[in-house]
Each structure stands twice: as C-alpha cells, then as structure tokens.
A and B are shown apart, each in its own frame.
Chain A
C-alpha cells in the first residue's frame, strides 16, 4: 500500500517541504533560500527565515501535491548535520506536525538524503557520490553497512570557496553560477595551489592565491577560469581515486555545485575512463529540499526506523558515516 511522507529540510540557508510517495513519486517539492543582501549566512538569521517561511511552504507543498494534512502518514525532518538554530527550528515544526497528525516521526541525515534522492532519480544502485555544496565537499560510497566518507575537504567546502571568492570581487550569493559565467570568457590559465592529500583536498590556499591574483589586476575571467580548472581538477582526481579504490561503476554528482557544467564535463571524463555510468542530479533535486528528506524518511521507516519525540534532539555534527543504513542490507 502506498504511503505519503512529508519531508522538511532546514539545515542551512534553505527551508523546504516535499511530499513523496512510497513508490518514489515526488508529488511536490517547494523551497525557499535565504539570500542575504551582503555577507554570508548567519545561523540566527537563517533560523528566523525558516520560522517565517516554514508554515507557508508546508501549506503550499501539500496543496501542490494535491493532498490534505490527513493524507500524510509519516513526517521526516533533516536532523543533521547543519547549523544548530536552523535544525532546531525545523525539528520543532516536524515534531509539532507529527504529534498533531498522530503519525510517526523519522530523523534523516542530510547527506544520506542527497545520495538517496540521487539514486532514486538516476536508478543507480551503489554509486560513488560526489557531494559538493556550500557546506560540504565529500566523496562518499557505501561499504560495510554505512555510507563512508572516502575523501573530504580538510578546510573549506568547494561551494564556500567559490562564494567567498565571489564575495571578494563583488558577486552576490551564491557566487558559483556567476563564476561559471565569468570563466567562460577566461583564456589564460594562472597556476593556483593544487592540493590533493590522498583522497582529501584543501581549498583555502587556492582562495588566498586567487584573491592575490585579483589584487594584482589579473582579469576576473581568467581567475574564475583558473579557479574552476584547478578546483574541479582536484575533485576529479579524488573522485578517480575513490572509483579506482572501491571498484564501483556508478558516479553520482549532487549538491548545489552539481549545476556547474564544467565540473560535470570533467567528471563525465572520469566516468568514461573507468567505464562507469555518470549521473548529475537535476537542479531541483540536487539542492537542499524536502523531497530528499521525505524519500529517505520512507526508506528508513520501511526498514523499521521511528524516532520518539523525546529522543528527537537535533545532531548538528552528525557525520555521514555514523548511521547504520538498514535499508541497504542487500549490498
């Protein structure tokens, strides 16, 4: 029998609500992102944003799905990792809804949700996932009952590096698309620190060097071009190491930075060399949104997971590899 789950996402700058059926049909997926006029994301302001827009987004999400409150049989929420104030605001909404509707509550790991919605969309079974966003840069694969982080950034996330550089030169948040646009006119490559350590990487040195190039008067287009080539080249190498190491034959690209076409092109090259299939998660499902939380909530619930309200504290530092992935026992 089909089951409908309402998923709430609110780990960082975006609040989203989505309704997904247990057959894997996304009935609605509404979100709103806080875009500060200047500066970055302040946790307090983001949580304020979530409580302001949350109820409206939840209503719209149900309306869009063509269902009423009483049709919802499960409520899932992003339990972590993320910014504490944002997580708590979202969790409060989820708990209230679950109690009011007297349905079970499920706490979902945000990173795991990105992978699972990507698998749903692509039909991939067991991919190496490249998850790149403003807050995360991780290479993840399933092994021994958990999603394990094979590589990650040792300092800044890729998206964060792009945003901070963009901010320095007057681009608005998020800066990734503007950088991609500017890079299209870049002709000359300037060498930037290429920092790969095993399967980990580091972007802070590149940021400093890029800022310095800007001060020296190097054209913005060339800097953006050089940043993209270096940063994505590093990511490609790490991805390639993970594929060679795990011998998996699917590569999934997700997260906010997945919308970058140059990054996609590079990773397609990696996939081709290693005889792997490649999929880039489509923008509506690659960013932070509720459908991924709802879908993962369904998988978790089907595997017997339920979260009592009294234990439903948020987990701001919940690592991807800290959760037993019960629904993937067949791998």
Chain B
C-alpha cells in the first residue's frame, strides 16, 4: 500500500507490464451502510469521468485504465513523483512560486470549463521528475460549476495554504492567483470576491 487517505487506500500494482495505481474506496463500517455505499459508488464513478474529462482540457491527470464500480476501485496511471505538499518543505522559494503559478493555471483551466476540483489542496497535486504538475483525487469534483462552487474551491485552496504552509502562505497565494488570473482573466474577479465572502461566512471571519 502506498497511502491510506481519508476515503481510500492507494496500492501500487503491476498490470499488463506496467506499474499502475489502484485506488480503492474501502467500506467504512462506522458510517451508515446506505450513505457509505452511495458515497463510494458516486465518487468512484465521478472520479473516473472527471479525470478523463479534465485531461481533455489540458490538465494533466492520470489516465484511467479500468474501473470496477461494484468494488469501488479505479486502476490508473501511477505518477512517479512527489506530493506538492512535501515539495514545499524542500524546495527553493523560486521553485515553489513557479509551482504555485502552475497550480493556479490548472485550476483556472478547470474553472473556465465550469469544473471544480472540490478539494484543491497541495496533497492533491503531484510533481513528476520533469517538474510537470499533475492533479489527482477528483472524487469531489463537479461539472456545471457556479460562481459559488468556484468560490468554494478558491476558499479551500487558501485554507490549505494557511493550515499547511503557514510560513509561506502569502507568496504561495499570490503566485497561485497570478496563474489563476492569467487563465481566467476577467472572470477571476467574481470568483475571488465570492471566495472572500465565503471565508467571511465561517463563524468568526
């Protein structure tokens, strides 16, 4: 097993002579079984569709090789590299801002096609050996996104920087926004001001 996440386990497997990643949404006996089943099924199917859909938009995502909906598992490309989250701790400021810029651009591309990622944290971006950034974990992604949904995406991104990369949060946010605005242009303003509004809705801010 590679990692045990919140809602899935990822295994590295050899298949058809390739090294692939098997993402399995295991059952959670402590959650009501109807909810558990519904979430595992809908997120597995959603993730498959969205990985493929955003790939066509030019967002690097692992290619899906096979899906077993009854077993709630997806077999996809294994991206050899490092989580962006870990890279932030070991990279130079310049490299971090370049990567943040790219992260912002990828989110911008998705938002311009009315797609939200749903959990845009630095845990869900992988940087490969050629410094190319890949986005993963599309179980919470949605189509036909409204400004509100895009606002939530940007709010979550800011929150992730705040809680995980507190020392660098300002420069990381700034370069991410630059990348985002570069792609989404005039459409960015409405989303970013909505993100601020959503942040204010949190009980005390």
A binding-site residues for B, Cβ under 8 Å: 81, 135-136, 138, 141, 143-144, 146, 148-155, 157, 189, 191, 194, 196-200, 229-230, 233, 236-237, 240-241, 243-245, 265-266, 268-270, 273-274, 317-319, 321
Say whether A197 contacts B156, CB under 8 Å.
yes
Say whether A152 contacts B203, CB under 8 Å.
yes
| Other-chain contact of A149, B30, B118, B156, B163 (Cβ < 8 Å) | B163
Say whether B28 contacts A269, CB under 8 Å.
yes
* A210 → chain B closest CB, angstroms: 15
Is the C-beta of B129 less than 8 angstroms from some C-beta in chain A? no
Which of B30, B123, B156, B203 has the most A CB atoms < 10 Å from its CB? B203
User: With a CB–CB cut-off of 8 A, which chain A residues contact B152?
Assistant: 154, 197-198, 200
| Other-chain contact of B163, A143, A191, A244 (Cβ < 8 Å) | A143
User: With a CB–CB cut-off of 8 A, which chain A residues contact B120?
Assistant: 198
Q: Can you report 30 residue pairs joining A to B where beta carbons are below 8 Å apart?
A: A81-B204, A141-B163, A144-B167, A146-B166, A151-B159, A154-B152, A154-B202, A189-B34, A189-B35, A196-B140, A197-B156, A198-B119, A198-B140, A199-B156, A199-B159, A200-B159, A229-B31, A230-B32, A230-B35, A233-B32, A233-B36, A236-B31, A240-B6, A241-B7, A268-B30, A269-B29, A273-B28, A317-B205, A319-B205, A321-B162
Is the C-beta of B69 less than 8 angstroms from some C-beta in chain A? no
Say whether A244 contacts B5, CB under 8 Å.
yes
Is the C-beta of B201 less than 8 angstroms from some C-beta in chain A? yes
* A243 → chain B closest CB, angstroms: 8
Chain B stretch 180-202: residues in CB contact (< 8 A) with chain A: 198, 201-202
Give the distance in Å from the alpha carbon of A197 to the alpha carbon of B157 in the complex: 11
Say whether B162 contacts A148, CB under 8 Å.
yes
User: With a CB–CB cut-off of 8 A, which chain B residues contact A189?
Assistant: 32, 34-35
